[in-house]
Amino acid sequence: MGLPSSSSVRVRIAAVLLTSLVLAGVWLAMRCTSPGLASCSVRTLFGGAPKLDVPYVTTRPETVALMLEMGDVGPDDFVLDLGTGDGRILIAAARERGARGLGVDIDPVMIRRAQANARRAGVEDRVEFRVADLFDTPLGEADVVTMYLLPQVNLQLRPRLLAELRPGARVVSHAWDMGDWKPDDTQRGGGAYVHRWTIPARDGMGEVGSDH
Ligand SMILES: C[S@@+](CC[C@H](N)C(=O)[O-])C[C@H]1O[C@@H](n2cnc3c(N)ncnc32)[C@H](O)[C@@H]1O
């Protein structure tokens, strides 16, 4: 049996390269769409990915508008957007309602995206986006807290919202409620429910259930 010709060696190498490329593409597609992955970047794909308590899902513009309306967001308000993603809620609060605020997300890729979006929207002087764990973020400065998280995350935040926010501050949640702390208002917009709570006066805390 003779040696393979150089052209058949080239064909084999090309076939191996092509197969590797296809397999790499399939792996990349599976990794990028896996729910636990914060975002599809070199860093998150090859290690060092932040652990997400909530997967990235966006709020529709109509729902964002309803959240800001229900939160009665205005130019004097400081909005804290927990799990800000691409920053759409906070950016709309600044652009449409003149508010200032802080958006935090555990995923640095999201924060870079939010910062770029804020620059594009011309509101970078009114909003700040920071890489931070929402569970370590102080809440007390906020007039309005906005969030699209998960039921158990809302429940974990509930005692801190009640303890750290000033009476009269508003909490607006896309989709999820707070267990037996009943919302003051619930509406539907953009195909989703939005709930709003107003922090009661300290002596009214007893009205808000007993287990938070
Ligand atoms: C459902 S998305 C909401 C995105 C955006 N707020 C919106 O409504 O379009 C939840 C976001 O929370 C972020 N997140 C998850 N766990 C977090 C944590 N422990 N601290 C801060 N952000 C977190 C995710 O990276 C994701 O961007």
Dump pLDDT digits (tens) for 17-59: 887 787 776 666 665 555 445 555 555 556 578 999 999 999 9
**Closest residue (by CA) to atom 1 of ligand 1?**
57
Give, using CA atoms, the residue closest to atom 14 of ligand 1: 83
* pTM for the model: 0.81
The domain 61-207 is placed in CATH, from the list 1.10.600.10, 2.40.160.60, 3.30.70.980, 3.40.50.150, at 3.40.50.150
Pocket flag, ligand 1, residue 114 (CB < 6 Å) = no
Predicted confidence at residue 45, as pLDDT, reads 58
Nearby residues of 131 by Cβ (< 8 Å), 6 or more positions away: 104, 105, 106, 107, 108, 111
Tell me the domain boundaries of the chain.
6-33, 61-207
Q: Report the atom number in ligand 1 closest to the C-alpha of 38.
A: 25
CA distance 192 to 196: 13
- Would the CB of 56 count as within 6 Å of ligand 1? yes
Residue 207 Cα to ligand 1 midpoint, Å, equals 30
pLDDT of residue 95: 98
CA of 105 to the centre of ligand 1 (A): 6
- pLDDT score recorded for residue 44: 55
Give every residue of the chain whose pLDDT is below 70, as ranges. 1-3, 25-47, 204-212
